[in-house]
Amino acid sequence: MSVIFKAKLKNAKSAIADKNYDYAYDLCHDLLELDDRNYNVHILLGVSCQHMEKWAEGEKVYRSAMAMPKANLLAWQGLCALFENANMPDKYEGALAEMRDKCIAEGNTAKAWEAMGKILKAE
């Protein structure tokens, strides 16, 4: 990872922390041009899309992150938050079920129960 890439990634994280989602969004797109397989960039772009109410793009970005070899629960959690904020109950419950299944497959029963509780609460 180049020094420029790392600096832009850090700036994108800071922009999100400062609630400057437009700037973070632009930085993430710049970063994707340099490395379109970077998991962290996808997560940060998903967060930016969520706060900018770019629901379809956010879903696409999170799903891309989920398909990456070293994907962790952040992508599933982000997708769930996006659907919850977008008021998409069917997609929200589906994403929670996906996250629950991933947690079970990884042996993370605490997170699986947490997802199950949210599914039951959503119904």
Which domains, ranges and CATH numbers included, belong to the chain?
A: 3-122 (1.25.40.10)
Report residue 123's pLDDT band, with 50, 70 and 90 as the boundaries. Answer: low
- Confirm if 82 and 55 have CB atoms less than 8 A apart: yes
Instruction: Please compute the mean of the pLDDT values over residues 16-45 and round it to a whole number.
Output: 96
CA 26 – CA 32 distance, rounded (Å): 10
Looking up tokens 């397989």, which residue turns up? 37
* Residue 51 in tokens: 């706060």
CA 76 – CA 45 distance, rounded (Å): 14
* Residue 121 in tokens: 């609460």
- Confirm if 55 and 86 have CB atoms less than 8 A apart: yes
**Stated pTM of the model:** 0.88
As a whole number, the mean pLDDT across the chain is 91
Instruction: Please compute the mean of the pLDDT values over residues 75-96 and round it to a whole number.
Output: 93
pLDDT tens profile 59-74: 999 999 999 988 788 9
Residue 105 has pLDDT above 90, yes or no: no
DSSP string, the chain: --HHHHHHHHHHHHHHHTT-HHHHHHHHHHHHHH-TT-HHHHHHHHHHHHHTT-HHHHHHHHHHHHTSTT--HHHHHHHHHHHHHTT-HHHHHHHHHHHHHHHHHHT-HHHHHHHHHHHHHH-
